[in-house]
Structure 1
Amino acid sequence: MAESRTTEDRGTGSQRRGRRIMMTPEEIDAFLAGRRTCRVATVSPDGRPHVGALWFVWDGTSLWLYSIVRSRRAADLRRDPRIAVLVDAGEEYGELRGVELAGTAVPVGESPRTGEPCAELRAPEQLFARKNFGLDAMPHDGRHTWLRLTPDTIVSWDFRKLTDAH
């Protein structure tokens, strides 16, 4: 797997090893735009990690997560906002690719989300509704909350690049 880098050096190739398999910023954007499900890791009160699957949307800068307010994930993040998210694909070794994003989850808008006007949520809700529901407008059920992860670090890998080099 390629090493960690900050979002500031996303495109500079600052990874010491794994340069051959790391994704370019454009590849990261396309990969995240094309995937639906991520795995979200939070820290439980006893210090153990908790990992669960969740739908997301990427806007090119931030990962937007739509989580159930009464979930263990949401409770963990209210107590400790540190988060790591993995989006990956591939079955065979030479097909494996993915992006890991880490940082702090920030709640956005009212919680639970009922659809009150929120300028910051306009774009992510439209992206999410189209990507996951095939709708132009976000349906609200009063049970979810929005979390924004603007990553401090992004790690990427695409093992398909190894087979392309031979």
Structure 2
Amino acid sequence: MNQRARIAMSEDEVTAFLEGARKLQLATINPDGTPHLVTMFYGLDEGRIAFWSYAKAQKVRNLERDPRVSCLIETGEDYNELRGVLLYGEAKRVDEPEQVLAVGLHVTRRMTPDVADELLLPYVEQTGRKRVAYIVERTKVVSWDHRRLT
């Protein structure tokens, strides 16, 4: 078995890793072809990465032109502790107001896990008026767990 195969996570491990994290690095493509990279809180919608953003943000303008994304979630400080998942896919825009609010609630719950939904909902409804939401449909998943190297 090669080293790449030794450190790859199973699908169940990828799922658990995504459920346990809160932030990701989201890469979209700028008009000139360069990457636009931002840190985002995210939620999960039936296991898929879900995020929202203000409608006028650069990442939204990029996604309207080209929906391809890369999403990186990684933990660990030292090399032998590094674990991560890199998802490639297409960000599908969610337009229904109820769906945008649902994504917003998923994201906000992960940002503030100890706050009750009834306290989060007014914020989500208020800020959701100026936001759009996306669900990432995966096309490729790369994962690693360097703890397996020891």
Q: TM-score range by the shorter chain?
A: 0.7 to 0.9
Find the aligned partners of 2:51 and 2:85 in 1 and give their Cα distance.
15
> CA offsets per residue over residues 86-117 of structure 1, 9 Å max, x none?
0001110000110001111111124xxxxx33
CA contact (8 A) 1:61 1:150 kept: no
TM, length-normalised to structure 2? 0.84
Find the aligned partners of 2:5 and 2:24 in 1 and give their Cα distance.
24
Name the structure 2 match of 1:155.
142
> SS at the partner of 1:65?
strand
The structure whose residues are more often helix, as a share, is 2
Name the structure 2 match of 1:39.
25
Report how far residue 128 of structure 1 moved.
2.7
Query: Paired residue for 1:50, among 36, 39, 43?
Result: 36
TM, length-normalised to structure 1? 0.76
Aligned pair 1:131/2:101, yes or no?
no
Matches for 1:1-166 after TM superposition, within 5 Å: 18-110=4-96, 116-118=97-99, 122=102, 124-133=103-112, 134-136=115-117, 138=121, 139-140=124-125, 141=127, 142-163=129-150
Q: Which runs of 4+ in 1 moved over 3 A?
A: 124-127
> CA offsets per residue over residues 3-34 of structure 1, 9 Å max, x none?
xxxxxxxxxxxxx7611101111111111111
Find the aligned partners of 1:127 and 1:70 in 2 and give their Cα distance.
21
> For the aligned residues, what is the CA RMSD?
2.2
CA contact (8 A) 1:67 1:146 kept: yes
The structure whose residues are more often strand, as a share, is 2
Find the aligned partners of 2:30 and 2:147 in 1 and give their Cα distance.
35
Structure 2, unmatched stretches of 5+, are none
Find the aligned partners of 2:106 and 2:87 in 1 and give their Cα distance.
19
Structure 1, unmatched stretches of 5+, are 1-15, 111-115
Find the aligned partners of 1:82 and 1:153 in 2 and give their Cα distance.
12
Identity percentage over the alignment?
33
Aligned residues between the structures: 142
> SS at the partner of 2:7?
coil
